[in-house]
Amino acid sequence: MIGRFTQGGMSAAERSTRVIAPVAVGLLLLALWWLLVEWVQVTPTSVPNPGEVVVAGSANWGIILEDMLVTGTNALIGLTGGAVLGVLLAGLASRFAAADGMLAPVVVILAVVPIVALAPIFNSMFGAGTQTARQLIALIASFVPIFVNTLRGLRQTRPVQRDLFRASAANGRQTFLRLTLPTALPYVLTGLRIASSLAVISALVAEYFGGPLDGIGASIGSYAKSGNHPLAWAYVGGGILIGLAFFLVTVLLEWFVNRHRPAP
C-alpha cells in the first residue's frame, strides 16, 4: 500500500480507497471492542468501553497533550540522532570494507538488545530525573533500520553504471550526487519510515520502565496501577496518535522526495 502511494501512480479513487479502508477497519475494531465489553463483558474492570475512554480523554486532554509532547520530543530527538548516525556510518561501511566488518557485529547486537533491559541501566547511568536515557533508547532503536537500509541503498549501483560515469569523465562528487545518492535515497527513506515507528515505541516503553514521571509511558503505568483504566487507555490513544503522526510525516516526506528526485 505505502509503496504504491509513494510512487504517486494511483488515481484519485484508489487514493480515496486507501484512506477509507483503514478508517473502516478502525471503526470496525472499535465496534468489536464495544461489543466485547458491553455484551460479552470481557474483563470489564480493566477494559472500559470506548465511550468511557473518550470521556476520560476529553476531560484530561490538556495533561495528555503535555505528556504527548514529552514522548514526541524524546522520539524525535532519538530518531534524528539515529538517522544522522545511521547514514554516516552506512556511508563509512560502504566505502571501507574494514569499517563494514567492524560495524556488522555492533549492528547485530543493537538489533537484538531488549529495550526493557536498557531502560533501567540507562536511567542509572544518566540519572532518573533526565530524559537522556529515553532519547538514547529511541536513538538505538532508530539507528538499526536506517543503517541497514542506507547501506543496502548505497550498494545498489551496478558496475556498468559506475563505468558509464567514469567514461563520461565524472568525478567522485558528481558520481555520488547523480548516481549513488538518487539510487540510495529510496532505501534511506524506507529506513526512516520504519525507524519513526520504532522511535515512538521505544521512547514510550523506556518511559514505562522508569525515569521522570512525565510522558505517555509513565502515565499509562501510573493510571493503570491506580485503577483509573479509562484514563490509562486514553493515554494509549495518545501514544497511537504520536505514532501515526510520525509515520504519516515520513510517508509524505518519502512521497515528496521520490516524486522530485532526479532519476539515476
240 grid coordinates: 497511537
* Among 15, 31, 47, residue at a domain's last position: 47
Please give the distance of CA 104 from its chain centroid, rounded to a whole number.
22
- Listed residue (32, 45, 38, 33) closest to 230, CA to CA: 45
> pTM here?
0.81
Are 127 and 134 contacting, i.e. CB atoms less than 8 angstroms apart? no
Please write the tens of the pLDDT for every residue from 172-225.
Answer: 666 665 667 777 888 999 999 999 999 999 999 999 887 788 899 999 988 988
Same domain for 27 and 132, yes or no, is no
pLDDT at 264 over 60: no
Closest CA to 254 of 176, 147, 146: 146
Distance set, CA 188 to CA 102, 112, 261 (Å): 21, 21, 13
Overall average pLDDT of the 128-145 stretch: 91
Please report, rounded to a whole number, the percentage of residues in the chain having pLDDT higher than 90. 34
Question: 191 and 76: one domain?
Answer: yes
Return the pLDDT at 65: 95
**Claim to verify: residue 6 and residue 131 sit in the same structural domain:** no
Same domain, yes or no: 176 and 222: yes
- Looking at the fold, whether 127 and 171 belong to one and the same domain comes out as yes
Claim to verify: residue 12 and residue 32 sit in the same structural domain: yes
Q: What is the pLDDT of residue 8?
A: 45
pLDDT in tens, 17-48: 666 766 777 778 777 777 777 676 665 566 78
Q: How many domains does the chain have?
A: 2
The predicted structure's pLDDT at residue 71: 95
Grid coordinates given for 56: 476520560
Across all residues in the chain, what is the average pLDDT?
82
Q: Give the domain range for residue 215.
A: 49-260
- Mark whether 133 and 181 lie in a shared domain: yes
CATH number at residue 67: 1.10.3720.10
77 and 31 within one domain: no
Q: Are residues 90 and 205 in the same domain?
A: yes
Give the integer Cα–Cα distance in Å for 69 and 242.
9
CB atoms within 10 A of CB 215: 28
Q: What is the model's pLDDT at position 175?
A: 63
| Alpha-carbon gap, residue 103 to 123, rounded angstroms | 26
Q: CA distances (Å), 247 to each of 155, 194, 201, 256, in order?
A: 26, 8, 12, 14
Identify which of 71-85, 88-102, 217-231 has the greatest average pLDDT. 71-85
Domain identity same for 65 and 180: yes
23 shares a domain with 13: yes
Residue 211 near residue 218 (C-beta atoms within 8 A)? yes
Do both 73 and 43 map to the same domain? no
Q: Could you tell me the pLDDT band of residue 7, with boundaries at 50, 70 and 90? A: very low
